[in-house]
Amino acid sequence: MPRGPVMEAATLRPMFQARRYQHCPTCGGQIEYRVPADDNRERATCTQCGAIHYENPLNVVGTLPVWGEQVLLCKRAIEPRLGKWTLPAGFMELGETLAEGAQRETVEEAGARIELENLYCVMNVVRVGQVHLFYRARLLSPDFDPGPETLEARLFHEHEIPWDEIAFHTIRETLQRFFDDRRSGRGYPLHTADIS
Contact between 24 and Zn ion per CB under 5 A: yes
Work out how close the CB of 45 gets to Zn ion at its nearest, in angstroms, rounded to a whole number.
9
Among 2, 18, 19, 51, binds Zn ion (CB under 5 A): 51
Residue 33 or 179 having the CB closest to Zn ion: 33
Q: Is the peptide bond before 57 cis (omega within 30 degrees of 0)?
A: no
Q: Could you tell me the sign of the dihedral formed by the alpha carbons of 172, 173, 176, 178, in that order? A: negative
Q: Is 49 in the site for Zn ion (CB under 5 A)?
A: yes
| Calpha distance 29→95 (Å, rounded) | 30
Closest separation in Å from C-beta 167 to Zn ion: 35
Contacts of 164 (CB under 8 A, 6+ apart): none
Q: Is 46 in the site for Zn ion (CB under 5 A)?
A: yes
Binding range to Zn ion, per CB under 5 A, among 50-58, 96-104, 129-137, 140-148: 50-58
Question: Binding residue for Zn ion (CB under 5 A) from 9, 17, 27, 52?
Answer: 27
Does 48 contact Zn ion by CB under 5 A? yes
The site for Zn ion (CB under 5 A) is made up of 24, 26-27, 29, 46, 48-49, 51
